[in-house]
Structure 1
């Protein structure tokens, strides 16, 4: 194949997101032919050589290696989202109160008592005692919440994040519904890791059945190979 200006444009576009059909569309190929054109171009050895050279040049330019990219993708894909955010059930005010009566902290009771004095109202009841800790788990025998407590979302202080959880974290967004924690796409990261390790092999046919359009088939390699590759990643990274 001759490396025309249009093909060169396709190569430049392909390097943006490695999406053949999208690159062909942006390079000027029609929507109807973009998939077929992309498969045809990418199958050409000259194009593959040029792509490899440009990718090598880019890796040197940004000073990043394939292993570094793979390590980051694996960290995203294998991270535990629970280290960023959790749904917790904690005790209600009556769970740990004496006789399952309302339990206070000493400070808030003093403030409530002072407010009652100022307003000329009766002193608040403290028969449930003091020492309320909102982080304790619910008590099954509680006669007020029946062991269900209160459910709420807990967000980790991102300044303390480390390891894969820090890599998974992509920022926060304040909206009218509340605070939203954004994360990188774990499924997509695992797909890219699988592609890099050759777990998914794509077979490209240049002529489809009865001269029809090109057909692409994805074949998943043996499960033992997948497990072995993942075990290798866990040992190394």
Structure 2
């Protein structure tokens, strides 16, 4: 039987067979569209669209039949199939990256069933190790401290081995270990620091140490001023019609205050000139910075305060349990009279015990003989 579908509508025409006259053409029969089902849920009307007729899948092409190779002929080998891909094709888009602390917190939150007050009690107890005060500070109301102590003891038994408590204890231990390491590092740096990084008293060369023939040595500005003064004297001599003076360079140019004193200088006898040098505090090492106590200006100049490194050294020795001072060996003194007196008392005590044992043996023997000694 033939079927016909009208394009653009959902109506279908079915053909009916005329059993009385099979030669007549089929008469089309109109079928009205299905009404959507109406459902009511939670006071709301839900409409479901009519089911659509499934479409037929296209027919798969038939594979050609394999032909057997004739005798004496070499057939080409069949191409190898590509390997099948394994693994799923689902991928997570924009995965959230968490650090170690966030993962631990997320895991702890999924494991605990503590409320806010219990968690606060754990935090306070780990820091103070005072259960009663931690119980009160966590927000619990009690009539007296004794009631709070009993309630805190019960709660502590419940949460002492809880995963939240263990995680917080490990976190607190890590912070304490880090702080302890920093303190020990600071003490070690201060104990091993060199105070000369802060202030030094040095001896530098004098004006004649490195001058020509150990004469007064000048700086460039001093040499220019001396030349300018010489030009004035020359002009004055010309005006007075006198012989102009000869310029004397003395020890020459190139005085440097950072040079060491010359051992053969006749002016300072090789000792130089003492200078107090305060170092730049911007470039101090961590150990020297621990000894730095500041700078103040006095009537005599600048004064820098430097702490003593010996207390830091003793503190470092106590931390690592080092005996800074060697222990004195015990000195034994022997007194002959005391030894003789102790020996005499020991003999008397031993003799008394022997006599008591002899008397007891005699009494036992008399009892065995019927009471006759």
TM-score bracket relative to the smaller structure: 0.5 to 0.7
Alignment of 1:166-181 (within 5 A): 166-181=289-304
Who is 1:188 aligned against? 311
How far is the alpha carbon of 1:118 from its aligned partner? 6.2
Alignment of 1:142-181 (within 5 A): 142-181=265-304
Who is 1:100 aligned against? 214
Q: CA, structure 1 residues 159+112, in 2 after alignment: closer, same or farther (shift >3 Å)?
A: farther
Q: CA, structure 1 residues 70+91, in 2 after alignment: closer, same or farther (shift >3 Å)?
A: same
The alignment status of 1:111 with 2:237, answered yes or no, reads: no
Who is 1:199 aligned against? 322
Distance of 2:258 and 2:319 partners within structure 1: 44
Larger Rg: 2
Distance of 2:178 and 2:295 partners within structure 1: 27
The alignment status of 1:82 with 2:196, answered yes or no, reads: yes
Residues 117, 123 of structure 1: 8 Å contact kept = no
Q: Unaligned stretches of 5+ in structure 1?
A: 1-56, 201-218, 223-237
Structure holding more helix per residue: 1
Distance of 1:220 and 1:95 partners within structure 2: 48
Distance of 1:135 and 1:66 partners within structure 2: 43
TM-score (normalised: structure 2): 0.35
Distance of 1:76 and 1:116 partners within structure 2: 57
Runs of 4+ in 1 over 6 A off after TM superposition: 118-124
TM-score (normalised: structure 1): 0.53
Cα-to-partner distance string for 1:135-158 (whole Å, 9 max, x where unaligned): 100111111111011011111111
Who is 2:252 aligned against? 129
How far is the alpha carbon of 1:124 from its aligned partner? 7.0
Q: Unaligned stretches of 5+ in structure 2?
A: 1-171, 238-244, 328-373
How far is the alpha carbon of 1:109 from its aligned partner? 1.4
How far is the alpha carbon of 1:179 from its aligned partner? 1.2
Residues 76, 184 of structure 1: 8 Å contact kept = no
Q: Secondary structure at the match of 1:65?
A: helix
Cα-to-partner distance string for 1:141-181 (whole Å, 9 max, x where unaligned): 11111101101111111112234223322211212232111
Q: CA, structure 1 residues 107+123, in 2 after alignment: closer, same or farther (shift >3 Å)?
A: farther
Q: CA, structure 1 residues 123+174, in 2 after alignment: closer, same or farther (shift >3 Å)?
A: farther
Distance of 2:198 and 2:321 partners within structure 1: 31
Q: CA, structure 1 residues 123+75, in 2 after alignment: closer, same or farther (shift >3 Å)?
A: farther
Distance of 1:100 and 1:189 partners within structure 2: 48
